[in-house]
Amino acid sequence: MVLRKKGRDTQSNSIVAIAKMLLIKKKRPVHFKELCNVILKYKKLQTVTPQESVRTILSLSNNFDSYGKGMYGLKSWGYIWYKLYYNRGDYFSIRDICYKIIKKIGPTNINILSAEVDRLYPNRYANLRCQIKTAMYEDARFEISKTKIRLRKYKKEDFKPNDIDSILTDVAVFLKKNERPELLANLMKIVNVKPCNNMDSKKILVLWLLLDSRFIKLGPKSHYGLLTWIE
């Protein structure tokens, strides 16, 4: 998308200004398509894909936070909406939910696990029982036998030559400094994780971010943050 300047104003600045005014008025997160519909009432966009152009500008602007699923809010709101969506389970995959349940109740079978998933998240995971076991087979946190599903036990020594403690400390320092949930791909750039244990670097970092109690999935897909932000 090419931005056309009009004096000191630019198309992106106008979009940001209108979006900010709407969010201030609404006092809640708004989907980017709704924001785009309002923006188009005030400004003609020089693009064939206005909705995606608005989404790109919102994502790149320092004025907004993305909460996932197309929802945006003002960065000045802090973590209040991240906390709401986190507590509601919007940032959990079915595998994350199974991990939380098994960590709480211990080794269990697929029927008990499925029933607990349905009980805790009836609106999100109804009709997903058949996917639970398949999803866990793809996750290195679980051990699955014919009768039981349990959490796999790891030692940091299993991932040598990586110094997992040092790597996770670097990630924690980075997140604390930036005070925003960060995309996994960007976290990969600040640490040097070597593949081992039949896993590539990305899988190792994801595994340890999920196992370490300091970190949480927070925000759009593949974003991670610090648990202290929403406690």
pLDDT in single tens digits along all 231 residues of the chain: 333 444 335 667 888 999 999 999 999 999 999 999 998 888 777 778 889 989 999 998 989 999 998 999 999 999 999 999 998 888 888 889 899 999 999 999 988 998 888 888 876 665 566 678 788 888 999 999 888 999 999 988 889 999 999 999 999 999 999 989 999 999 999 999 999 988 899 999 999 999 999 999 998 888 999 999 998
pTM for this structure? 0.82
Q: Which CATH class is domain 5-77?
A: mainly alpha
Fold: same for 89-151 and 156-229 = yes
Q: What is 156-229's CATH topology?
A: Arc Repressor Mutant, subunit A (1.10.10)
Q: Which pLDDT score is estimated for 92? A: 86
59's enclosing H/E stretch is helix 50-60
Sorted by where each begins, the domain ranges of the chain are: 5-77, 89-151, 156-229
Contact 152, 140 (CB under 8 A): yes
Q: Which pLDDT score is estimated for 118? A: 83
Contact 32, 66 (CB under 8 A): no
**Domain 89-151 grouped into CATH 1.10.10:** yes
Output Rg (C-alpha) for the chain, integer angstroms. Answer: 21
Positive or negative torsion for Cα 151, 97, 162, 202 = positive
Q: Which pLDDT score is estimated for 93? A: 86
pLDDT in tens, 56-69: 999 989 899 999 98
* Three-point CA angle 74, 77, 78, nearest 5°: 115
